Chains A and B, each alone.
Chain A
């Protein structure tokens, strides 16, 4: 069933909300393979089911029917405890609303996944310092989330998602709350991660963000309506994208 080369797989995936006349099929019979190192963008109008698909692939929600595989392991049959353990190492989440812990500093936010995974405080500190340095936030390590700009907050969120070096980083509208400059910063970060071989799945409304991906899937009414390999990836020319110039 599973392809060893694919980090994420979905087979005949369904997710329904409600019942009877109010039944909504958020995801409707989707098949998906995401190879390692691929940067996949999922686009579609609001309510088309792309965020739900992301939650299903990351083990935050359970499908009504179908299978989800992460790194060759079927996860839709796992209990909550096993899913939590899987998320620690295999999946990193980035959200549109950042979802940083408000009472923790930037560094403490990044340390959190390492501590939850059983890492020592020293290891957590080192990892956080490394990531914040890499993402250009070393001087903001002690700042609380509300003391940071939107772009900085999202970069902290990405650093946190990368804290345990997950197999796949899934991002739900990561630039939805950002201005143009901050969007550019985040895209540069994703580009760096992709170059380093990180698998990324990004749900977005923004065609400019989608244009930076290796592959673009379009969704409508819970189904895939288009799946395109983007030959002309934007590596090295992000600044030149329309509307994203500094």
Chain B
């Protein structure tokens, strides 16, 4: 118990002494696990949400649709409702193809004639306002969100102005903008939103020249058999005869709803791995920067009798605890963000469905791996160092790199200093180059995705627009997260380099280097690896994007890719300027006195 208390006390003391490092570790790992949690939980998430909506609204197992309202059509639909295996039904209902205008925006719409009291199947869930009444309409929530309309707003439906009395969701139709299911006359649908109107109000639509589809909602004895309902089914064939009837199973609707997320999932998953890499790079830099102090701390602990086990526990516990805390924060963030991502149309009930047990295991493993990868090396090195050597703080000697040193002698002072700083820790320069490459790969992905023309659903412009918007929002969010983390890493790397090189830079100043040259040298140490990293990041991004393109790739302008790569240089210069300047302004006498102490 005493040992545990000691470990806790030492860990807490260290976190209190280095709060910024703890925060950076938390933010980095939390960002990575949040994105990973989101990416991993997308698979099947929308289907799960559809199931919840289906339960909440007594959704049908199948919907049979047929263009027109003639007697043969109605007879065919009614026959379907009475075939074996159907335990309940509602309808036939009519839906009219028209437009709806709200706040100056007009969108394609299907107007469903609704019962004042919904039947046993398809009882739309009113999320605000009330159910339909004569003289007022209820707008499906995804459609209302897209139009920016709410209860009390007036909308124009088929040329008639009516107030919105309610907003609702349903599982009997696909999510916005695929509500029509089939197009006018049974042709392809151009997409649109759903509006419910009192039966009495739809009489005016009957007299107009609008296309109409009739449909019936079916409840089956075995909902899983809904997918087998079709014209090959003898019962269905006998019921519909020659009438053209389209049967949509609930499974099809669930799958249709997740189409919107198909492009988002790889973006999130790949983005999360890149973020995890950046988190590892950032935390590794922090850990390496503290290695010398940690070694001395280990020496002190050993000197007062701590066993290797206790020492290892103290060193690892801090990173592991922070990583696990960050994992929890990331998962909470993923759960909070998930409803927005998995329900982009807002047409399904709003509940968080994840993260699942599997997702939690994956993100926790990643968080632990980040902690282990970054702290294990310094911990093992510290443990292997003899106590006296550790106390002397001379355990780690920088390597002599004669070639780089000779080369740097030919260069102006800032480049000389920058190159020699890189020579001290070449691994860190490589890490920084990878940091830049990962960021530029994502930026390239962003440019690639934005360059692609709208595709995927011929004749369904609204669906394409919504899917593209979803894709653009996700890649934009991923890119923003990566840039933010890369920026934190750049500042961290500069500061760590400046801290480690403090004595060397102080010596250089006693020998005549100006603060400006020191500042420039510290910036150059980051700028030199930035350029190859940026140039490597562009093809990396293209390679990552190509497997997800549908064959015909539209390339973004070459100048935009080059500009993105070159923009990394001024961005790095700006990010390194402040920490480098602060480090260069430190008192030389004080630094050297502290080193000598």
Q: Which residues of A contact B (CB under 8 A)?
A: 51-52, 55, 58, 60-61, 80-81, 84-85, 87-89, 93, 95-97, 99-105, 108, 111-113, 115-117, 121, 124, 144, 146, 160, 164
Contact = CB atoms under 8 A, between A and B. Distances in A.
B587 interface: yes
Contacts of B517: 84, 116
A116 B504 CA distance: 13
A117 B588 CA distance: 18
Interface stretch (B25-33, B38-46, B398-406): B398-406
Contact of A87 (B420, B512, B585, B595): B512
Chain B contact surface mostly: helix
B400 A105 contact: yes
A103 B413 CA distance: 17
B596 A95 contact: yes
A87 B409 contact: no
Nearest 5 pairs between A and B by C-beta? A88-B512, A103-B398, A97-B596, A121-B409, A84-B514
Among B409, B424, B504, max chain A CB count under 10 A is at B409
Contacts of A99: 503, 506-507, 510, 592, 595-596
Interface string B278-318: 00000000000000000000000000000000000000000
A104 B404 CA distance: 11
10 contacts: A52-B589, A60-B589, A81-B516, A84-B512, A84-B514, A97-B596, A103-B423, A108-B405, A117-B512, A164-B512
Given A99-B510, A101-B504, 7 more contacts: A61-B589, A81-B516, A84-B517, A99-B506, A101-B508, A105-B402, A115-B416
B60 to A, nearest CB: 74
Contacts of B399: 103
A215 B420 CA distance: 41
B511 interface: yes
B425 to A, nearest CB: 10
B513 A116 contact: yes
Given A95-B596, A115-B416, A85 B588 contact: no
B5 interface: no
A244 B593 CA distance: 28
Contacts of A96: 596
Contact of A84 (B402, B504, B507, B515): B515
Interface of B: 394, 397-402, 405-406, 409-410, 413, 416, 420, 423-424, 503-504, 506-517, 585, 587-589, 592-593, 595-596
B397 A112 contact: no
Contacts of B512: 84-85, 87-89, 113, 116-117, 164
Contacts of B398: 102-103
Contacts of A84: 509, 512-515, 517
A149 B517 CA distance: 32
A172 B416 CA distance: 28
B587 A97 contact: no
Nearest to A118: B413
A112 B508 contact: yes
A81 B593 contact: no
B588 to A, nearest CB: 5
A105 B397 CA distance: 13
A144 B595 contact: no
Contacts of A124: 409
Contacts of A87: 509-512
B307 to A, nearest CB: 30
A116 B409 contact: no
Contacts of A95: 592, 596
Nearest to B410: A121
B508 to A, nearest CB: 7
Contacts of A81: 514-516
A144 B397 contact: yes
Nearest to B513: A116
Among B509, B516, B588, max chain A CB count under 10 A is at B588
Nearest to B405: A108
A160 B511 contact: yes
Nearest to A144: B400
Given A60-B588, A121-B410, A112 B400 contact: no
Nearest to A100: B507
Contacts of B506: 99
A193 B439 CA distance: 56
A82 B413 CA distance: 16
B400 A60 contact: no
Given A81-B516, A146-B394, A60 B510 contact: yes
Contacts of A55: 589
Contacts of B400: 103-105, 144
A88 B509 CA distance: 9
Nearest to B402: A105
A112 B514 contact: no
Nearest to A164: B512
Contacts of A112: 508, 511
Contact of B511 (A51, A52, A103, A113): A113
A121 B592 CA distance: 27
B419 to A, nearest CB: 12
A98 B582 CA distance: 25
A113 B503 CA distance: 16
B592 A115 contact: no
Nearest to A90: B512
Contacts of A101: 504, 507-508
Contacts of B585: 80
B589 A88 contact: no
Contacts of B515: 80-81, 84
Nearest to A122: B409
B403 to A, nearest CB: 12
